[in-house]
Structure 1
Amino acid sequence: MSSPMEIVRELTGPGGEFELRDEDVLGARLPVFANRARDLGAVLARSSSYGDRDYVVTASRRLTFADHAAAVASTAKALREDLGVRPGDRVAINAANSPEWIIAFWATIAAGGVAVGYNAWWAPREVEYALGHTEPKLVIADAKRAALTSGTGVPVENVLTVETDVPSLTSRYPGAALDVPDVAADDPAVILYTSGTSGRPKGAVHSHRNLTSVIEYHRFNDALARASGDPAGPSSRRYLLALPLFHIACLHNLAVPRLATGTAVIMHEGGFDVDEVLRLIEKEGVTNWGAVPTMAHRMVEHGDLSRYDVSSLTAFSLATAPSSPAFKERLRAVFPPAKDALVDSYGLTESCTGVSVATPADLAESPGTLGRPTLGVQLEIRDPDDRPVPAGVEGEVCTRSAYNMVGYWRDPDATARAVGTDRWLHTGDIGMLDERGRLRLTTRRSDLIIRGGENVYPAEVENVLAEHPGVRECIVLGVAHPDLGQEVAAVVGVAAAPPSPGSSSPPPSPEELTDYARERLAYFKVPTRWHITTDPLPRNATGKVLRRQIESSLP
């Protein structure tokens, strides 16, 4: 048998199925997959050939590839002819996971629209901002979020419900043919939001090239496994989808590529529940699961997991948030699929897929590593002058590939800061490469808090708290949490209590501030630890709050 490096060269070299060659991408020469699909519409059209295979399976429903193609064709025709969706129009999806979410996504693509995934945990104020920011032609939402949308006061031409309207659209035009408008490779296909350091979410724009490149990367991994002796092909694998579809982990790297490979997506609906998820794995013979550390923590703490047969699970990965080597060892001890199959990775919304991946061998040799760059990814560590530094030297993680986003929606300044004309993405994360080219992070995006896999930027929370009339100054920090990884803590400076009753309002209490934040922020951004003080926050000579000093002195 050929060595792994020889197999990669054969697959990606000239004439190979996954040939990589340099092409112009938005003004820069980048390695791209020569045989990728022209656009997502072409991927969708091919998917009907998988016929009666399972595409999306839940605890109570099954949607075959043929069913899905028919539902999408009918819905896309209704979007175009009845609802006036034109190429380039944005269609927002604001809903919990369901098969209808996926149908709505692909129908938007088939109609020539741009699918915008709203964070289903957003508070009304965040939804209001996104509606004004992306100006969707229509919103597709579950009943709970449809009411939220209508209550924002932002005019939306149509708000369709997942429960009633989408099923109606899927059957409105039986026998409809797919008629996908022509698009250019770098035209927008998807917008997903990432929290903004300036206090506003930013819409990362992902093109058809971005998504079809991600698809080829996953197809390459399937081919590499097959060429390396793995007898299981894509048609026999079954992938668990237990993270929100408005994240790249489950949309770009699961639902989308599995439509291209004819592979089943086993969808868990509702909040994460250890017993329900393991029951679903056992029932459906799930083979692959990408989890976040919070899910893994809950399994570790759940107790005896042996009553569930999870022997079908041969691939298990952790993503979206860092986890310590010590925790990985505890996980391996109680969850057999993690023992020999655990992998770790590093990526961000802007990169569309993993920037680097650590194999079980990498983790065994170098605990804490995030592995080597993904196929087609160029990775450098750069100093403050934007110059590459050698192995072992800390600096900003910068990456370039055909996967990287086009830019931020309607935010040229933020785009210019993040992605230069040379298409290098500056992540803001700090790390280093070891002598074998493996990445290790030392700081995640400045002061980013990662709570249960969700990104929380302190500036956004601080801006909300600062609007409270009783808050003089504040700072928001991430503190360790045994289940979530981190929880959100706020140190709030207030005026001294009034000398006599009635002279002025008393300082706000933690309960008052919690309620205030909860009305304006998604629940995961609301601080759960409060320290209210009348002392000024410590600052340096330039007036900047000394975050680390406060962090070390938190009670």
Structure 2
Amino acid sequence: MPSETDHRAAALVQAAALTGPGGRFELADDDVLGTPLPVFTHRQRALHEVLHASVAHADRDFVVTADRRITFAEHAAQVASLAQVLREQYGVAKGDRVAIAAANCPEWITTFWATVSIGAVAVGFNAWWSPREMAHGIDNAEPALVVADARQSAKLADCPVPVLSVEDDISRFVTAHPDAPLPSADVAEDDPAVILYTSGTSGRPKGAVHTHRNLLAVVEYHRLNDALLQIFGDPLRPQDRVYLLTLPLFHIASLHNLAVPRLATGSRIALHQGAFDVDAVLGMVERERVTNWGAVPTMAHRMLEHGGAHRYDTSSLTSFALASAPSSIAFKERLREGLPFAKNSLVDSYGLTETCTAVAAANPQDLAEAPGTLGRPVTGVRLEIRDPAGEVLGEGEEGEVWVRSQFNMLGYWRDSAATAGAIGADRWLRTGDLGQLREGRLYLSSRRSDLIIRGGENIYPAEIETVLVDHPDVRECLVLGVPHPDLGQEVAAVVVLAAGSTVTEEALREYAAAELAYFKVPKQWRLTADALPRNATGKVIRTEVRV
């Protein structure tokens, strides 16, 4: 019987043939922003090229929801119509930003493609942001206009630019010009195409800028994976695969690694709308014969608790990926035992908003042979473990994860200091995460030290602390993550009150809720008069603080 090593060797041979000289996915060094990087030779140069090619899929379904079906041809026509409105009625031009503040819906995807296809920049606002955070996004991105659903529009009362409603304006504009030509734009590969916000380490969300090159490289990466699957005997053609979309479109998991590449491959997107509901999601898996699903551990945990997965026909689901948050070896084993589709299909990966796609990926064989690993670096990614001085460490030594590839972001929007702190002149991205390499596989020790990951959402304590210390009754505070059985972690706060203060936990919670997205508001609180423990340099010793 062939061993895992045999399968690994065979996969490497096939991948080398596809990515080597003359291969369909040939990788060759090219100048990227002054640094030679391996790039796909046979690549598209602008995102509108993906839209133009998609019409070949014509009457096949592109996006389906619980009550709508939109074909590739219909989608292309809607994008063309909306693009004409953006250009002619609102004057959106190359380089202008169009912000999208909405929950998942087909109009989100249509607006994205209309924006990038005319050379403008699509800016994904977090649909859970508070009015304060939304205002920061407007100030930072300075969009020409905002596309918002009804819930988000309520947070934009003082918006200085036009706000178009998803329910009224966009639904009309996508059919306003049925004969509009497909849009295109004269853009360079390294021109910005997308801005997605990450939680800020210093108190404000930062906009990660992704280029046409970045997203089109992700498209080729997914095409390569599809080609490898077929070589190894997968009976489904790429265009016959169905991808369940349950994560927010303002994250790379759903936008860069699902909505964008599936327009290129002709695959169907099964789009779940509204809050996560186990029965609705599994019903869609059964009805649409979903083959691929990327979920956060919280979703997987809720399916285990639900206990009814066996009542649905999930036999079509052959790839089940955990994304956006770490999960334990024991939890993965519970999934294999409790969910019929996870037994032989569970995969894991490691990536960041700044890297556009996975940095490393672990297939079922990796997880079986090396539990706890996040897999090997993906095609085209160089990954190293370095010490604080930037020196490369050896096998099994712990240090910071550094990454360089054609997928890495351009930088942070209008934040040169943060960009310089993350990306060197040679395009190496310093992730801030600690890990080690063993036999070529990545193992993480911690993610960005103080980072809290709640249900797949990254939360930086500094952002919450910045809000809390502005309260007149707060002398100092510390925010940290505490374990939660469903969400992985939840937010807790230790607040040192000003002398004589009688402020209550409830009052502080209400104060925070007015300034922060709901998932960032601390659920656990400890109010105290005792100062936080500090070291000789005055820095808070976080490890000594308990809720």
The question of a shared fold, defined as TM-score above 0.5 by the shorter chain, is answered with: yes
Secondary structure, counterpart of 1:148 in structure 2:
coil
The aligned counterpart of 1:247 is 251
The aligned counterpart of 2:514 is 519
Q: What's the CA shift for 1:303? A: 2.1
Residue pair 1:350, 1:404 contacting (<8 A) in 2 also: yes
The aligned counterpart of 1:468 is 471
Which stretches of structure 1, 4 residues or more, deviate above 2 A after TM superposition? none
Is it true that 1:205 corresponds to 2:200 in the alignment?
no
The aligned counterpart of 1:480 is 483
Q: What's the CA shift for 1:238? A: 0.2
Secondary structure, counterpart of 1:519 in structure 2:
helix
Is it true that 1:144 corresponds to 2:158 in the alignment?
no
Determine which of 26, 32, 40 is the counterpart of 1:33.
40
Determine which of 453, 456, 464 is the counterpart of 2:456.
453
Q: Deviations over 1:232-268 (max 9, x none)?
A: 1111100000000000000000000000000000000
Instruction: State the percentage of identical aligned residues.
Output: 63
Secondary structure, counterpart of 1:306 in structure 2:
helix
TM-score, normalised on structure 1? 0.96
Supply the AA of the counterpart residue of 1:508: V
Distance 1:147 1:468 in 2: 25
Secondary structure, counterpart of 2:391 in structure 1:
coil
The aligned counterpart of 2:15 is 8
Determine which of 350, 353, 366 is the counterpart of 1:349.
353
Q: Deviations over 1:21-55 (max 9, x none)?
A: 00000011100000111110111110011000110
Supply the AA of the counterpart residue of 2:135: E
The aligned counterpart of 1:272 is 276
Supply the AA of the counterpart residue of 2:173: L
Determine which of 190, 194, 203 is the counterpart of 1:186.
190
Q: What's the CA shift for 1:290? A: 0.4
Residue pair 1:495, 1:507 contacting (<8 A) in 2 also: no
Q: What's the CA shift for 1:508? A: 1.6
Supply the AA of the counterpart residue of 1:226: Q
Distance 2:11 2:524 in 1: 49
Q: What's the CA shift for 1:336? A: 1.3
Supply the AA of the counterpart residue of 1:420: G
Residue pair 2:197, 2:205 contacting (<8 A) in 1 also: yes
Is it true that 1:290 corresponds to 2:276 in the alignment?
no
The aligned counterpart of 1:420 is 424
Distance 1:140 1:10 in 2: 44
Secondary structure, counterpart of 1:183 in structure 2:
coil
Q: Deviations over 1:78-119 (max 9, x none)?
A: 100111001000000000000000000001012221000000
Structure 1 unaligned residues grouped into runs of 5+: 499-505
Q: Deviations over 1:148-199 (max 9, x none)?
A: 11x2x3411x110000101111111111101311100000000000011010
Secondary structure, counterpart of 2:154 in structure 1:
helix
Residue pair 1:204, 1:407 contacting (<8 A) in 2 also: yes
Distance 2:182 2:217 in 1: 22
The aligned counterpart of 2:3 is none
Secondary structure, counterpart of 1:326 in structure 2:
helix
The aligned counterpart of 1:50 is 57
TM-score, normalised on structure 2? 0.98
Distance 1:411 1:544 in 2: 25
Supply the AA of the counterpart residue of 1:515: E
Q: Deviations over 1:268-314 (max 9, x none)?
A: 00011111101111111000000000001111111232111111101
Q: What's the CA shift for 1:507? A: 2.4
The aligned counterpart of 2:114 is 107
Is it true that 1:532 corresponds to 2:527 in the alignment?
yes
Secondary structure, counterpart of 1:541 in structure 2:
coil
Residue pair 1:478, 1:488 contacting (<8 A) in 2 also: yes
Determine which of 430, 444, 447 is the counterpart of 1:444.
447
Distance 1:354 1:374 in 2: 7
Q: What's the CA shift for 1:131? A: 0.2
Residue pair 1:132, 1:154 contacting (<8 A) in 2 also: no
The aligned counterpart of 1:503 is none
**Which piece of structure 1 moves more, 300-309 or 349-358?**
300-309
The aligned counterpart of 2:303 is 299
Secondary structure, counterpart of 1:427 in structure 2:
strand
Is it true that 1:24 corresponds to 2:27 in the alignment?
no
Q: What's the CA shift for 1:343? A: 0.4
Residue pair 1:234, 1:262 contacting (<8 A) in 2 also: yes
Supply the AA of the counterpart residue of 1:84: G
Distance 1:207 1:530 in 2: 41
Q: What's the CA shift for 1:542? A: 1.0
**Which piece of structure 1 moves more, 256-265 or 138-147?**
138-147
Distance 1:382 1:397 in 2: 7
The aligned counterpart of 1:381 is 385
The aligned counterpart of 1:328 is 332
Residue pair 1:77, 1:111 contacting (<8 A) in 2 also: no
Distance 1:381 1:508 in 2: 46
Determine which of 258, 261, 281 is the counterpart of 1:257.
261
Distance 2:504 2:370 in 1: 46
Supply the AA of the counterpart residue of 1:83: Y
Supply the AA of the counterpart residue of 1:462: E
Q: Deviations over 1:388-412 (max 9, x none)?
A: 1001000000000000000000011
Is it true that 1:88 corresponds to 2:102 in the alignment?
no
Distance 2:403 2:538 in 1: 33
The aligned counterpart of 1:119 is 126
Distance 1:110 1:437 in 2: 39
Q: How many residues align?
A: 540
Secondary structure, counterpart of 2:350 in structure 1:
strand
Q: What's the CA shift for 1:455? A: 0.4
Residue pair 2:153, 2:165 contacting (<8 A) in 1 also: yes
The aligned counterpart of 1:399 is 403
